[in-house]
Structure 1
Amino acid sequence: MKIDVEHVTKIYKDTKALDDVSFTLSEPKIYGLLGRNGAGKTTFMEILSGHILASDGEVLIDGENPFDNQRLTESICLIKEGDNFKKDLKIKNVLRIYAYFYPTWDQELADELIREYNLNPNAKVKALSKGMASALGIIVGLASKAPITIFDEPYIGLDAAARKTFYDILLEEYQAEQRTIIFSTHLIDEVSLMFEEVLILQDGKLVMQQQADALRDNAYAVSGATKDVETFIEDKEVIQSKQLAGMMTAYVYGNMEQAKSAGLTAEGIPIQELMIYLTENKGA
């Protein structure tokens, strides 16, 4: 399903959560939606899911607005950080409700994941720990098989082993049947290798949309004597630079081999660090 984001702005009273954001997600991929707290990620995901309307502009899925559009909302599953389910429902009833809602629901997968995460189907949502509530959200998101599946910090309270299980199953399911998966997370180092495309928001604006492989290959840190580095980066796209004791490090987007050929030290920048550099207020 093609997602077109066209000049989307969302204003809450005096706060502009999204500011004229435009981009297109044209094919099934695992997308990393990154940014600091307050960048506008959750607001965008709620608009995409049809939960709220934009103040200006619109999000279109295959040319249609998802708001108040049941045909589309049956194809979108948003799992948030918390409060995904009514507290008085039992786990088995949560699964039954979502099975009715999603035509693509995979009950066999849901049952398998219930066992994997050791959840009691008769337990009420309000009795679940944060980790168990997160596991339930992950189960619903994966078992929905929704063509657009959105995970917004879905693993609060899960330990490292449980998170790894989630990542492994997500990749298995995606490889078996591709769908558009949008993943918003602060644990970028854990999941960045899954991303096929990365979008970075800052202060409600889109500051980068790039293929993940291109980011890994072309974003690098170059270090050396200040004069040498300054000369090298004169005609380069510089993300950020810093100096200390006659030495300089610059974060550059381009061909790393050029830096090495110039006798400078160059190494790749992890996507998490790149996101931090891009969203620092100074020179972002």
Structure 2
Amino acid sequence: MKIEVKNLSKKYKDTIALNNVTFTLDEPKIYGLLGRNGAGKTTFMDILSGQILPSSGEILIDGEDPFDNQRLTESICLIKEGNNFKKDLKVKNVLKIYSYFYPNWDQELAEDLIKEYNLSLNAKVKTLSKGMESALGITVGLASKAPITVFDEPYIGLDAPSRKRFYEIMLEEYQEEKRTIIFSTHLIDEVSLLFEEVLILREGSLVLQEESETLRDNAISVSGSIEKVEGFLAGKEVIERKQLAGVMTAYVYGTTADAKVHGLEVEGIPIQELMIYLTERKKGA
């Protein structure tokens, strides 16, 4: 399903959550939606899932507005970091309700995940630990088989092995049947290798949209003498410069081969580091 975001803005009283954001997600991929707290990620996901309206601009899914559109909302599953389910429902009731709502619901997968995470079908949501509630959210998100599945920090309370198993299962399911997965997380280093495309928001604005492979190839750290580094940086987009004792280190979009020709030391920039630098840049930089 094609997602078109056109001049999207959302304002809450004096706070601008999204500011004239425009981008397109053309095909099923695993997208990393990254940014600091307050960057506008959750607001975007709420508008995408048809839960709230924008102040201006629009999101179109296959040319239609998702707000108050049952055909589209059946195709979108949003799992947030908490409060996804009514507290008095039992786990088995949650699964039953969602199985009615999502046409592509995979009951076998849901049952496998319930066993994987040791969830009791008769337990009420309000009795679940934070980790178990997250496991239930993960179960619903994956078993929904929704063409657009959105995870917003879905694993709060899960330990590292449980998170790792979630990533493995998500990738297995995605490879078996492609769908658009939008994944928002602060644990970027854990999942960055899963991302096929990365979007970074800063203070409500989109500062980067790029394929992960391109980022890994072209976002580099170069170090050397100030003269050599400055010579290499000419005409390139520089993210950050640092100087110490006659040595300069710069984070830049370039090619490794080109940097080595200039006699510089070259390293890749992890996506998490790139996000930090991009979201630290001041306006106008």
Q: Which band: TM-score by shorter chain?
A: over 0.9
Q: Which residue number in structure 1 is paired with residue 72 of structure 2? A: 72
Q: Which residue number in structure 2 is paired with residue 191 of structure 1? A: 191
Unaligned runs of 5+ in 1: none
Q: What amino acid sits opposite 1:93 in the alignment?
A: N
Q: Which residue number in structure 1 is paired with residue 29 of structure 2? A: 29
Deviation, 1:236, is 1.4
Q: Which residue number in structure 2 is paired with residue 131 of structure 1? A: 131
Give, in whole Å, the separation in 2 of the partners of 1:36 and 1:242: 23
Deviation, 1:281, is 3.5
Q: What amino acid sits opposite 2:172 in the alignment?
A: E
Could you give the per-residue CA deviations for residues 105-161 of structure 1, whole angstroms, max 9, x where no partner exists? 000000000000000000000000000000000000000000000000000000000
SS of 1:157 mapped into structure 2: coil
Structure 1 residue 119 and structure 2 residue 91: aligned?
A: no
SS of 2:120 mapped into structure 1: coil
SS of 1:236 mapped into structure 2: coil
SS of 1:235 mapped into structure 2: coil
Alignment of 1:1-284 (within 5 A): 1-282=1-282
Give, in whole Å, the separation in 2 of the partners of 1:232 and 1:101: 56
Give, in whole Å, the separation in 2 of the partners of 1:264 and 1:164: 36
Q: What amino acid sits opposite 2:33 in the alignment?
A: L
Q: What amino acid sits opposite 1:261 in the alignment?
A: V
Deviation, 1:234, is 1.7
Q: What amino acid sits opposite 2:231 in the alignment?
A: T
Give, in whole Å, the separation in 1 of the partners of 2:28 and 2:282: 34
Q: Which runs of 4+ in 1 moved over 6 A?
A: none
Q: What amino acid sits opposite 1:60 in the alignment?
A: L
Deviation, 1:47, is 0.2
Could you give the per-residue CA deviations for residues 205-238 of structure 1, whole angstroms, max 9, x where no partner exists? 0000000000001100000111221122122111
Do the aligned residues in 1 keep the contact of 2:228 with 2:263 (CA within 8 Å)?
no
Q: TM-score, normalised by structure 2?
A: 0.98
Could you give the per-residue CA deviations for residues 70-102 of structure 1, whole angstroms, max 9, x where no partner exists? 000000000001000000000000000000000
Deviation, 1:261, is 1.1
Give, in whole Å, the separation in 1 of the partners of 2:281 and 2:254: 22
Give, in whole Å, the separation in 2 of the partners of 1:282 and 1:59: 28
Deviation, 1:36, is 0.5
Deviation, 1:2, is 0.3
Q: CA RMSD in A?
A: 0.8
Q: What amino acid sits opposite 2:53 in the alignment?
A: L
Q: What amino acid sits opposite 2:166 in the alignment?
A: F
Unaligned runs of 5+ in 2: none
Give, in whole Å, the separation in 2 of the partners of 1:254 and 1:33: 23
Residues 218 and 281 (structure 1), Cα distance of their counterparts in 2 relative to 1, 3 Å cut:
closer
Give, in whole Å, the separation in 1 of the partners of 2:37 and 2:59: 22
Give, in whole Å, the separation in 1 of the partners of 2:17 and 2:281: 16
Percent same amino acid at aligned positions?
75
Deviation, 1:282, is 3.4
Give, in whole Å, the separation in 2 of the partners of 1:236 and 1:197: 22
Q: TM-score, normalised by structure 1?
A: 0.99
Give, in whole Å, the separation in 2 of the partners of 1:277 and 1:10: 25
Could you give the per-residue CA deviations for residues 48-70 of structure 1, whole angstroms, max 9, x where no partner exists? 00000000000000000000000
For these two proteins, the number of residue pairs brought into alignment is 284
